[in-house]
Structure 1
């Protein structure tokens, strides 16, 4: 989705910008002395629970006030990657100046302020609170020129052209958690605990509360440490859970001893609460619907044992 102040009537550019910002993000309050001559545009990529936006604009101050929070109280974080220009980021008693190539995070459940002194461009990545292990160090600069920070920057820059942008965005959120706390990449503990995390997931696939917090609690590690175990691997925590649940459902549909179960029962036993999304995910993963897999298996047994 793309919005531009060029669509506004002459003299109404900044008023339109106010509406545009609130449409593209959570409620915010922008201010600028440029008014009628103001120019800016926003391109946004919805990514399921995540959102990425590219903002190109001119000098202004953007606040999230208490009134804004009351109007849109969704809890999460904005991770802003400075592309051009500079921006001052402030939240609570913390203030930092972002230069090109630096990334800063602010929480949406407390007031914050951005000050842009001139023309700028940012990539703004919205991450729900449950995807970043807390406490998150807000209003501090993260270097993206090397290490995990560079991987986060590359992922965010690649999302607009990625074949599966939602998957890449979730990987970016996981890597962001690691970049905010590099100590979770303990080379001694990680391999052993990653295996333990997989075993815990497999043992609790049918749990309604199979979440990073629940797995971390059972393993005796922090949620941030748990996310770090999956950072840099082919699958995030959430992707691993989905794959293992689908694999269990596929095995159960092929099991003659479970042929009396309805497909909805198989889906529920594997931990899926939404049957429609289960059918879509199953077909994407295996190229057949659940009923087709079951019927093919029944047909094969009948031919083998007439």
Structure 2
């Protein structure tokens, strides 16, 4: 299955098509058409946006038209982390129309969030339009007809997440789409910083890291939606923000054997007591959360053929376990079998016992 993006604007000599395969992988891709005499005089140009790694979560295809007579340029970088698709785009003024009739029937309905770094954005959906300026963000329903207008040169980040993953229903999304969200402070600022950091490190993340970052983005986007609707008090927003930040930090530092409440509290600039208080409303304590995440990481690695040459103990150490005996007991208690038994089952019984 492919994505197609048409760019038939008046500055182009003919429509240009870019075909990309969502099954080709989730790594970043760059597109920089530059600002050349050819582009200024009507040369070809291409626009693409988000390409999720899951074929069931296909981005709505777009048709873009340049509305500026000056030199044409477009710089784009896309990222895909499981159900989360991202892109950063810089370009000249343009109109963009969603091509909903080209979305495959297997695609999940998605929510998109536009974060405006420079310029302005107007999202037209239904009977009205909502405008966001630099330092603001907009939610909208990617399953309903919509149009963008960028009246100025712009720089934006776009995130798409399935409605199912976010837990957003139509009424909640309609309320969110009615006004822009501030992104220069609070949760909006946290999201902008997270997206920026992700864009720089995504290609270096291993599968566990990618899963962790995707989960963090989903958490913060959901939290931003709750804050916009006033469904949580400032104190609760602060607490949930700390919990999301702590969980992200834990997932990305599991390999460090020193990871614990003291280390996390220092990173978040809070007291250990405050950190423990935040996790009173979470399913597990800080220590138990770390232990569960490490056990799941080891379990995935043991089922990965690329690690089949490593002994179980080495894999456990690589995820921060310092005691082989403690690890083995915890693994058996959690999963009902020893690490070696799980590995043999997951890999089809092709391994001999090892520790």
TM-score range, shorter chain: 0.5 to 0.7
How many angstroms does 1:149 deviate by? 1.9
Aligned alpha-carbon RMSD (Å): 4.6
Q: 1:116 & 1:76 partners in 2: Cα distance?
A: 22
Q: 2:74 & 2:293 partners in 1: Cα distance?
A: 49
Kept in 2, the 8 Å contact 1:89–1:97? The answer is: yes
Instruction: State yes or no: 1:176 paired with 2:186.
Output: no
- Taking structure 1 as the reference length, the TM-score comes to 0.60
| Residue among 107, 111, 115 paired with 1:73 | 107
Q: 1:88 & 1:274 partners in 2: Cα distance?
A: 45
Instruction: State yes or no: 1:185 paired with 2:264.
Output: no
How many angstroms does 1:71 deviate by? 7.2
Q: Which runs of 5+ in 2 are unaligned?
A: 1-28, 53-58, 252-281, 308-314, 333-355
Closer, same or farther: CA 121–187 of 1 in aligned 2, 3 Å: closer
- Taking structure 2 as the reference length, the TM-score comes to 0.52
Instruction: State yes or no: 1:141 paired with 2:186.
Output: no
- Tell me which protein shows more helix as a share of its residues: 1
Q: Which runs of 5+ in 1 are unaligned?
A: 191-226, 252-266, 299-306
* Per-residue deviation, residues 228-268 of structure 1 (Å, max 9, x unmatched): 975421127xx6899979946988xxxxxxxxxxxxxxx8x
Residue aligning to 1:302: none
| Residue among 238, 256, 276 paired with 2:303 | 276
Residue aligning to 1:85: 119
Instruction: State yes or no: 1:154 paired with 2:193.
Output: yes
Q: 2:215 & 2:121 partners in 1: Cα distance?
A: 26
Closer, same or farther: CA 76–22 of 1 in aligned 2, 3 Å: closer
Kept in 1, the 8 Å contact 2:223–2:240? The answer is: no
Q: 1:249 & 1:89 partners in 2: Cα distance?
A: 39
How many angstroms does 1:140 deviate by? 2.7
* Per-residue deviation, residues 66-85 of structure 1 (Å, max 9, x unmatched): 32335783322221110111
| Residue among 151, 157, 166 paired with 1:132 | 166
Residue aligning to 1:123: 157
Kept in 1, the 8 Å contact 2:74–2:89? The answer is: yes
Residue aligning to 2:242: 232
Instruction: Count residues in correspondence.
Output: 237
Q: 2:150 & 2:62 partners in 1: Cα distance?
A: 15
Closer, same or farther: CA 26–4 of 1 in aligned 2, 3 Å: farther
